Every structure is written in C-alpha cells, then in structure tokens.
Structure 1
Amino acid sequence: MDPLNSAQDVVLCTNCTNSAALLHCDICHLDLCEDCVIQHISDISKDHKVVPITQKGSTPDYPICLKHSARRCQLHCVQCDIPICVQCSSSKEHKGHTFVDIKRAFESKKDILERDLQELEKYIRPKYLETVSSILVQKTDMIKHFQKIATALIEHGEAIQNEINNTIKLLKSDLDEMGFKHLAILNEKEDNISQTMSEITQNIADIKKLLESNDICLVTTYKSRIAEFWKLPPHIKVKFPIFSPQKIDRDQISQCFGTLSSLSFTTEDQVFSSETPETESSHLERPLMNEPFIITTIKCKYNSLFHVACQEDDKVWTSGQDNMIKLYNLQGELLNSIQTKSGSRPGDVSVTNGGDLVYTDDKDKSVNIVNNTKIQEVIRLRGWIPRNVCSTTSGDLLVIMDNKQNTKVVRYSYSTESQSIQFNDKGQPLYSSGGYIKYISENKNLDICVSDVQARAVVVVNRAGKLRFRYTGPPSTTYGSFCPIGIVTDSHGRILTADYTNDLIHILDQDGQFLRYIDNCHLQGPWGLCVDTNDNLFVAEHKTGEVKKIQYYMLAEKS
C-alpha cells in the first residue's frame, strides 16, 4: 500500500482532531480516537453505541421519543403508525394497541421502497415513455391526414371554379381550427405526461436516497405514490374529420360542395394485460409466513358482519344485517356511512379501481356505484337477482346473479353486458342453482374465481369463461367439510377463501394447488375477505362483528 495515499484516507477524531479515529459512536455520529472514547461514553445523559470505524453506520438510528426525551423509540404502534418508546406503550393513549419492533417496521418500509423503486424503474416509467412515443406518432398521422383533406378540398374547389372560393375558404378555416384544437390537446397531453415523468424521476431519486438512509423517522414517514402513478394517462382516440364531396350544382354550390365532419376525442384507460412483464413480478416474490399473525383488530359496531372491501390501506368499507354501509379506519373510528337507496341490506360491497364504492341490492335488483355520497344506479336486472360483485383490473364489473333455478356470472362494461358465464363445454352448469352464497374475485392472470358454498367448492374459469379447475379442499385434512364463503386474490396470484365452519382461511396457488391454512388467528366465523396493496388480509368475522388485519407474507429478502 502506498503510505502517501493511505495517509489521505485516515479519519481524524472529531473531539481532539489530532489522533486517528478508530471508533465511531453510531448514536452521536462522532468519530473518536481511543483516548477520547472513554471521556465520550462517560456522559451518561445520553445513550451511546461505539463500534469500530469500519462498521460506522451499522447501527439503526433509533429516534428520540417525542414525549420522553431521555428514551429512544424501540417500538412502532401499528394503529397510530408512529415510533414510540417502551414507556409510551404502557400509557393510556396506546391502550389496546398493537406494537411491533421498530426495526421490523423499518425493514417493512424498506421493502415497500424497494418494490416501489422496481415498479417505477422497470414498468411505470417505460409505460409513460411508450405513451409519449404514441403521441408523436399521432402527431405525424394527424399532419398527413389533414394534409390529405386539404388537398382534396383544393382539387374539388378548382373544379367548381370561382363560384365556390368563399365556401372553400370557410371550410378550410374550419379544418385549420380543428387541427389547431387537436394539436393543442396533444401538446397539453404531452406536457402533462412530461410533468408526471419529472415527478416519477424525482420520486425514484427520493426512494434511492431513502434506501441508503438509516434515518428511521425519515424512512417511516415515506408515503408511497405508486397507486397515483399506476393511473396511466389515457390514450386519446381521435375520429378525424372526413370530407364528403357532392355532385356540383352551380345553383346550390354552398349546399352541395360537401361537408367536413367535426373533430372528436375519446379516451381509453390503459391497463397492463396478463402478458406484460408486470405479471412476472410487479412485487418482489415473497414466501408465506410459517405463523401468520394479527396486525390489528377493527372493532366495528355490528351484531353480524358480512362484507369488507379495502378503500385504502388504512380504510375499509363494511356491511352487515342492516341497510348501512360503513367506512372504518384501522383504529375502529367510523369515517363515513351510506344508506342503501332501497332501505334493504346490501348483497355485497366492492371498490372500483378509481376508489368508488360498489354495492348490490337484491331487493330492487340493482348494482350501484357511490361517488362521495351520491348513489348512481348502473345496472337494473329483470328476472335475475344480483348477489355479489367485484371490480376487475380493466374497470369492468363481474356480477354473480341467479333466478332461483340458475346462476351465472355476467361481465359489465359500465352498464353494458359484454360476457355471460353459466355452462361448461358439456353444457352443464358451472355453479349451483338457487340463492346460495357465492363470492367472486378476479385473479391477476384474469381468471374468474367463485366460491360456491352449496357446491362446497371454489370454481375457477379463465378470461373466456372456460373451466380451469374446481377446488373442494386439500387432499387430506383433520378439519370438517369445506365451507367456502368469502374469496380474494393477491398480487402473487394466490387465491384465499374463508372456510366458515372451520374458522380458517385456505390459501391456493393460481392453479388450484393447496398451499396452507391460516388457522392460528382465532377466527370466529370468517366471512368476507379483501387484501390491501401490501397483501395484508382483512377478514370480516360474522360472529364477532370485527375485522381482523392479518399479515401472512414474509418480508422480501434483501439481495
């Protein structure tokens, strides 16, 4: 080693500034020599963590408690979502709350940061770049199309001679105005996307900075914007104007010259299909936990609870035997309540991609969407009763309905029926008849999963409605007969269904292979299910009227 170069790398003691610092206090962030370290740790008014200088920064920076300045926070309150010290955990303010080790909460947030960074860099940003490229193509096509029409106008005008010059000027002006409007809209769209791209780039930079940080306060206050960025800009569909020439009539030149259709725009939401790289692993693959555990219990005010649907990661819609649909936070505080239009209890509740509440009503045979507090009927059935509903990745609604003799699944694009699923290839019913309980969920591979309690089976068909498999329970079990009620799928394509009579959850892979039970969380009559964006499971307990939030995946392993 070159002694001249190595001397430049020597770290000097922060205290005396003369001797080489061989040690470092990770709590006070000071480099110390061997002589000064004794004096440093003798200050008992503070905590100290002295490590070799080569291990500098290896100790997590535990924050000082805001209420007890002499203590460091070693716990994280799940309900309040804040770091706390041991003394705070026994206070009245946190009575009955769930606590986890703060390092575990820190690692969990780091896991979210890594997954967000992966999605931003590998999938979201490339999609925005693809959309920008498509706008450039649209601009080129627009110029060519408008030039073609302009030429047709001029050629037709020359045939009619001077009498129609004024008419040509008028139509040409209309065309130019439409072209200007079209270009203005495309430019505005391009500007908006560029702005969002800048925000994504900044978000990536911020996440990378957080990933390198050991500042727990800074990291745990990170708020993911992935859901916001996943709302990709809609494609603009343009119906270009068409010039329709008419036979020349000198007496009625202005009428017979021809017409120019108006410029029109439609938007089309972008979604990732099952063939895109996103389906390979939009989330880092994580193993199932050996022992799932309850993160928190939401004490809802129900005698009998049926349905639960995630509004956000910290808010859930619920419904029971009455005609009210209630929104709770994780602390059990009632945030909002909606009364059904018919006054009857809802058949099921779900949440659209845009965050709107959806519910079925078997009394007036309707499916309704709630935006803020306004209830809008989108589907009204005749001869069939809507039972359960789910919103798909494409924005469609899948509705289970029956007429006492038959049961089918119908896909709706807003209010328009686009698909009906009722029979297998042999013409036999896929689902049991009558008004027995059935729940529905779309998987990430676009399979349609239905829990059929009368058939004691989970019935899964593909996007085209072809039967893939029927799950009737694991090959061998010590539990009683399979009684599936609620059903949900997670970001890894796994299927979870509530087994009501056995008080547990079955977890299957997307091909129907049994993986494991969740049978250690003391569930009492599990009914409705939903998962949040981090694949935490919410279970509506019919018997207790409570919702339990359960973690069943391990944190992603760090590379």
Structure 2
Amino acid sequence: MDTLDQDIMLCFMCKTAVVQMHCDTCGVNLCKACVGEHISTSKSKNHKVVKFQSRKFTPLYPGCVSHGEKRCEMYCKHCDIPVCHICIASDEHFRHKLSNIFNVLGEKRDFVKKTLNELNEFIYPTYQDIAADVQNRIRQIDEEYEELSTTITKRGEDLHRKIDNLVNKFKAEICEMKTSQLHIFENHLDEINENIVQIKGDIDTLDSAVDSNDLSILLRVDCNVNKYKKFPQNLLPSVPKFNPGKIKGREFYKVFGDLSSVSLTEEGPNYRLKKIKESQDVDAVALVQRKSRHNFSPTTVSLNSSDAAVSPPDKQESSEHKSQNLRKLLLDPDIFSGMEFFGIETNIACLGYDEFWKCGESNTMSLYRIKQGSVLNIKSIKTKSRKNPTDIAIARDGYLLYTDYQSKTVNILCEKDYVLIKLKTWRPQAVCTSSAGDVLVTMESDDKTQSKVVRYNVFIERTPHPFAGEKQNIQFDDKGLPLYSSRCSDKYICENNNHDICVSDCGAKAVVVVNQAGKRRFKYTGIFSGPDSKPFNPKGITTDSQCNILIADHDNFCVQVMDQDGQFLKSISLRVHKPYGLSTDSDDNLFVAVTDLKAFFPLSHVKKIKYLQ
C-alpha cells in the first residue's frame, strides 16, 4: 500500500516530485529535495523528518501549552494536561502524579473506541429508527387528516344530496299541482269560450231577424236567454305555501356532526437501544403509540321520512370488487373488427354486453346487436328535430339520451321522443349519466365564449312527460378561472366509478378531471411516445370498472389509458384508424368508433377491443 501511495502522492512543497519523506511535526509529505527548504521555512520548530514508510511508527507528541516550542512526553493527571520536560522541572507540577503520555493516550483511545462503538452499534441505528418512525407518523397524520377532510366532504355531499332530493321532490310536486290546477282552469275556460261563441251566434241571428222584412223569420227566432243567465262557477286558485323549517343556533351542527378535540400526549421513553445487526422491522421496535386523533362523528339524519339516511361507504370491498381489481391491462390487446358505416365522425354507447347505439353524420340513431359474430341492425330512429345528434348516452332503465346542438335540447327516447332539457342561451354538446341517475351535459354559450358542465336531476316516471331540473354548475376552479376552454371545440364527458367527472376538452388539448363536488383534481395533457407523435387531440372518453380512464387520441391513431389519478398506463395502437367515439360494455370490452384512412370513401368502423385480462 505504501508503494502505491508513493506512486500517486506528490510533494507538499514542489507539487511535482514523488513523496519520499514525512515531517511528523507538521504532518506533511515531502520529497528529499524539499526537506531542507521545509525546515528552513520555520526555524523555530523542531522538525522531525522521517522516511515516508516510517511515518506511522513515530509518535507525534502534543505541543506544550506553556512552552509552545516543546513537545510533551508526560501527562500530569493532577492538572489533566500534557507537560514537557521544562514543566516537570518547574515547581508548578511539584509532587503531582505524572504518567507516560502513551499510557494516558492508550486509555483515552480505548475509551474513544468504546464510545465510537456505542455510537455506531446502538445509538446511531436507534436514532435512525426514531427518525423513520417520526416520518411514518407525519405521513400517517397527513393521510388521516386527508381522510378526515374526505369524510366531512362526503358528509356535506350526503346532506347536499338529501336537500337536493327534497328540493327536486317539492319541485316535482309543485309541477304536478300546477299541471293539475291549470288543466282544471283550462277546461273551465273552454266551457266559457264555448258559451261566448254560442252567445255571439245568437246575437248575429237576432240582429238578422230584427233587420229582416220576413215576418216568418222573426216569428221563428228563439229569444230564450235564460240558459245564459246561469253564469259559470267562479273558481278561485289556491296556490300552496311553503313553510321553511327553522334550525336554531347550533342545532345544525348537531345534525351535521362534530369534531373531537386534538391532543398530543408525550409518554416514554418508549424507544430502546437497537443494535445495527438487528432486524430493521419497525414492528420489532417499541414505538410511541398514538394517543389521540381527530375524530369526526357524523350525525345520521333523515330529512324526509321517505329518504333513507345515507351511511358512510363501507371500506371493506366486496369479493366481486376485489376480483375485478385483479384484472390487469393486456400487453397485446385483442382487436376485433366490427360493422362498417359510411361517414367519418361516429359516437357510440354500449347497452349491456352485446348491444350498442351509434350515431354519425345523419339524423338517424341506430341500435345494433352482436350475435354469433355478426352485427345486426335492430332498429333506427330519427331525431325529433331531424337534425344530426351531437352525442348519445344510455340513461337509467336503458333509455337513450341524445343532444341536439341546433335545437338546444337534450332528448330522451322512452315510449316517445321527449325533450328532457331545453336551453335558451347555451348549446349542448356531450352527455353522460351518473351512477345516481343524474344527467351530465357539456355545453357552450351561444357566443362561444364560455363552456361548462351542468348536472341535472332527471324525472322520468313521476309525470306523463319526463323532465330534468338543474342541480349543479361546474365552470370555474377555486381561483375563479375557467376549467374548460372557451373556443368552439368538442368536449366529451363521462363519470368515473369514484364519481370523478372527466371531460375530454379538444380545445385545450387536455382531459380535465374534477371530483363530485366540481373541484379540480388534475389535468392530463397526453403522452408523446415517439418522434412522429402529434399534439394530443382528445375526442371520445370513457372509463372501466377499474376506474381507468380511456381517451381517443384522434391524431395519434391510438387510445391512451390512464388511472384514476392521471398516471399514464399504456397506449392501444389502432395503426391507420383514427378513433373518435368510445364506450365500454358491462364486461370491460372497449368499443371504438374509428375512421379508415385507406378507404376510398370516408368509412367508419366500430372495433371491439379486449384490453383487460
């Protein structure tokens, strides 16, 4: 090792020659040529120069505190300091117990080694465990506060939902009362108008008889007006009044719930020394136990006798849901060709497992069924306005929803084609349904300067004609900035299984995801997988049972798949086909409406893709 050191170490003085000597006094390495120069630089020092190989065997005595030029070879235990021979000769250390400094240093070295061993083997690993435990506590506190916040948010959403249900219930009852009462008054008015017509006819007959010279006409005229003297009944409308309930003081807090107090209890010492060779499992160490947490206790309340209280969601997953969570993305998806259609932009909506609706560049919407490898056209329906539908979706009970951009309506196909939503200054674009049966609609203003998502509560069976009441507006983030692009562009929508609302915003070249309350979660701008990749151009959007989000990347000929938190998972290549509409069936098969670029005429396909195993 010494030879290797000489090969690579250079003289402290000249910086060029190889090291050959060592000054124990100064602790520097020298070449032979520089030894004299080094000694002459400090004549007052007693330089002790030895060969470099002998540097470890020559002790470096400490300097004397009182006589700086002298080295201490003895140690005064009484004064606890090193002393030189001049100190020993003086009266200052007379009758003091002196020891060879090497013996003292040996004892000190042993004590230092023992201390070093204790630090390395016990104290340092123990503090490492303590730091890791505190970090876990910090992470755990963050997660539990986040969970607490989520619990309170869900509690608020539950109460909002109950209140919304009550509001919509009252509105529906009001609508029914109004319809019934108006019907009575309209019938009453019809009877009165019929009498007016008859009286007008009698007046004309009597006028003619009076002006006529024909006496026979005058004799035959009926002058009985008693039948009109029994005037119609005077109906007075009775509009119901709303009597709001009063909640005094902190009664509302009792209804909503309360927070327990927070405290930090310090007990211990609960940590023990741990050897570095012991298992690093945190459970093997006695950790500080958490004595108190924030606890939120929601108060279960039913706002209406017919409205059951909503309990917190069960954290234990069902066996069916657990088995679903085991499904993974296939490395090589199985893509099956479907039926060909003329046109270029097609939207689809799966109905169960083997049926799907399709709409495109015509006013016709068609239902198809897959049977034994063939695709059969079950039925076709034209839109009520004879305009092209913008988007389609499946509502509760299998009813078909479609948006009519030109007529500013959202329609539903029950027994007939009914107008579910009629807009005035906004135009509907895409539509989807939520797990609760609500309808979510993306729309833009007439002047094409604003975009938003509106949630509607739908009433299909309560009245002869279905209708929807506005329930929620999603347009701005917490800073008051628009969530969606204002430019005229496609905006498709779907609700994830975790109740997030996902909007594919072509104008922003992004997918914007908000939670159920309309608060922004994240914005996904696509993944560029190669040098030939084009800017992300999202079209159709859908989700599956795993809460994965699938987006049609129109210009990159693929479907991008990300998880519920916006992390990219994979890309499903469609080669020469441009994807447009997306939908998943009840078995997580993906249906994609694509355009064949190689066809002589614009030709659309619906492809069925198995991408989960």
Q: TM-score, normalised by structure 2?
A: 0.45
Greater RCO between the two (CA within 8 Å, min separation 6)? 1
Q: TM-score, normalised by structure 1?
A: 0.49
